[in-house]
Amino acid sequence: MTTFPSLRAFLFLLLLAAGLVSACDMEQEIEVKLPVLPPQLVVECYLENGQPLRLALSESAGYFDAPQATIVAGATVTITKNNEAPITLKDSVSVDTKNQKVYTHFNRRRVRAVPGDVFTLQVTDKQGRRLTGTTTVLPTVPFDSVGYKFNDKPAQTQEAYLLIRWQDDPAMKNFYRLLTHKKDSSANGIDSEMDAEVNDRLRNGKKISYTTTYRFDRNDILDIKLFHVEENYYNFISSVEDARRANGNPFAQPVNIQSTVAGGFGVFTFLNYETKRIIIK
């Protein structure tokens, strides 16, 4: 009588194992055929006061194609400010060594703009493809305060966090980007110590505070930039960051990059920001 439950459990495990083996035999490979899409225009253009007009134009490639930038030859590129005459950017490859960027179109005219100005981008190529974009200059938002505080570790191993505050304008929806770079002759100036997207959805009209983790050392020289950005650019950089986090993660949902342009992919925006330098002492 005492052996019957054990025998029944054994038979159950045997049947379970057989089922698992059978399930393994039912596996089969499925080949998913991705649709072949025509290449689309891809643009990257940031306008900034005092800087010349520069733009990188290429076209998209297939998912499994080798990573490379395909330059679009013979395209007509114009940027128009408000109702002024369009400015043509010529085919001219240039390299920005500081920011490690390559531009394909250039005009030496320096950008001069004030809040409220509207810039329009238009790109057409020999295949008849047309890409457009619009950006409005937003006012800069000053820092209310920038400070830091060390943790309670011994002095030689202490690290500090940053606390940054600014006043939000209640009259409109606002979107921000915070960047911090460390001034270091050994650094390339590209990688940031902090890159954060912030909005006023829950803090409209209030002072907004942003705090980092403990990550800064004594004598660090930090350049902090507070960008006041448009919603479409905020969505662009947020989607890029989400895609970066999802890359290689089998449990993450796929992310579509949200462009700020129509008729292709990419970004066209005006960068307006406040800068503050602090030294961690």
pTM of the model: 0.82
Q: Does residue 281 surpass a pLDDT of 70?
A: yes
Question: What 3-state class would DSSP assign to 17?
Answer: helix
Give yes or no for a contact between 226 and 273, defined as CB atoms under 8 angstroms apart.
Answer: yes
| Model pLDDT, residue 190 | 55
pLDDT tens digits, one per residue of 44-90: 999 999 999 999 999 998 766 666 668 898 999 999 999 999 999 99
Contact 232, 14 (CB under 8 A): no
CA torsion 6-8-14-17 (nearest 10°) is: -100
Give the model's pLDDT for residue 249.
73
Percent of the chain with pLDDT over 90: 67
On the question of pLDDT at 26 being above 80, the answer is no
Residue 27's pLDDT band, with cuts at 50, 70 and 90, is low
Domains of the chain with CATH codes: 41-136 (2.60.40), 143-257+273-279 (2.60.40.10)
Give Cα 245 to chain centroid, integer Å.
Answer: 12
CB atoms under 10 Å from CB of 25, counted, come to 8
pLDDT of 11 above 90: no
pLDDT class of 167 with cuts at 50, 70, 90: very high
Grade residue 97 by pLDDT with cuts at 50, 70 and 90.
Answer: confident
